[in-house]
Amino acid sequence: MKSLFSNYPTWLWGALALVLAPSAAWAQYPPPYNPYYPVQTYGPIGNQLMGQASVISATGGLYKDQEQARILRQQADQAKIETKKKSFDEMMYEKAMTPTFTEEMNKNQSMILRRIMTNATDVEIIKGEAQNIILPTLVRVAVRGAYGPPVPLDPEMLQHINVTGSVADGGTGVGMLKNGGANLTWPMSIVDTPTQKQLAAIIPTAVTEVKTGGQLKLDTYKKMNATMDKLYDEVKKMFHKEQIDGGQYLNTTRFLDSLKGSLKILSTPSAALYFNGDYSPKGSTVRELVDYMSDKGLRFGPCNPGFEAPYFALYNAMVAYASGHGEDPSGFVNLNAAKYPQKGGWKSVYR
């Protein structure tokens, strides 16, 4: 009996064997993953639906990313506002804790006043700087109704205290010309020299012109300045030629500097006020002196050479008055003893 498959040709069986052989081998030994294996397709309709789904998914992701970006932008803006707020708070804190210019100036003035009250230098006293620093504070204390003890002042002492109307006048006052300038005590190094005699003759004339006419004449002003400059040059030459020593040179130049400052006042519009009594210190006590200086708008000028003691006495009196007023404005310090106490007062220096 012939088999069912005997009717097929032999070549067909060979082809079938070739097709089935690899399938059996793959079933026994599965091949590795093939990245280039063709993508499964679903036909035209299925592929169209898959594309639409991909577009919808991508659009949703885009919207989600955009919203997430908006959220991050809002968080960044909030962080900027918070940073700005913290910066403002820090600025206001620093501003509140930093002293203002006025507060810093008040502090500096208070420290200067405290030092002047306790440890003023000799130069500050004889130039009147120490007294000028204390004076405004005493005026402010008096305005508030706080007065110190009645510290008396010697009228003869006040005659040697120089005052000035303003810094514009040179800040020195007439000083050495109070008595007309005719009885000046010239230094030994220049006394009786031709230039000194010439200047000594011009000064009384200049003072008389101011007293009588209220104004210095131009010709007198020119002669006075030229003679003063010539006297300065002669003193320098004497020092360079060793005709005078260093101490004499310093004393002479100091005398000339003080005299030059006084002569400068003669050329100012207010020069006559220094000789009619308006620009003279007055008062029997420190309080009266302070009130008078304040009412007239006066300041203390530097002392004349050789009359330093009245300035130390006035400084001590002002410190004693300030220390006993009963309050502590701008750093006042109570002192146990005045500086430079002199047995017998300032007059003992001359007697």
> What's the pLDDT score for residue 340?
43
Nearest to 298 by CA among 275, 276, 281: 281
pTM given for the model: 0.62
Above 80 in pLDDT, residue 10?
A: no
Confidence of residue 124 (pLDDT cuts 50, 70, 90): very high
Confidence of residue 59 (pLDDT cuts 50, 70, 90): confident
> What's the pLDDT score for residue 326?
52
Give the three-state DSSP class for 202. helix
| Percent of the chain residues past pLDDT 90, beyond the cut | 16
> What's the pLDDT score for residue 173?
67
Averaged pLDDT score across all residues of the chain: 78
Above 70 in pLDDT, residue 159?
A: yes
60: its two tokens: 């949703």
> How far is residue 142's CA from residue 326's CA, in Å, rounded to a whole number?
12
Tell me the average pLDDT across 324-342: 47
Give the pLDDT confidence of 187-205 residue by residue, as tens digits. Answer: 888 888 899 889 888 888 8
Above 60 in pLDDT, residue 287?
A: yes
Q: DSSP of 39-85, one letter per residue? A: PP--HHHHHHHHHHHHHHHHHHHHHHHHHHHHHHHHHHHHHHHHHHH
Tell me the average pLDDT across 109-123: 89
Tell me the average pLDDT across 239-246: 89
Which range among 2-6, 227-231, 247-251 shows the weakest confidence by mean pLDDT? 2-6
Question: How would you class 81 by CB atoms within 10 Å of its CB: exposed for 0-12, middle for 13-18, buried for 19 or more?
Answer: exposed
> How far is residue 284's CA from residue 150's CA, in Å, rounded to a whole number?
9
> What's the pLDDT score for residue 33?
54
> What's the pLDDT score for residue 36?
56
Confidence of residue 331 (pLDDT cuts 50, 70, 90): very low
Tell me the average pLDDT across 334-348: 43
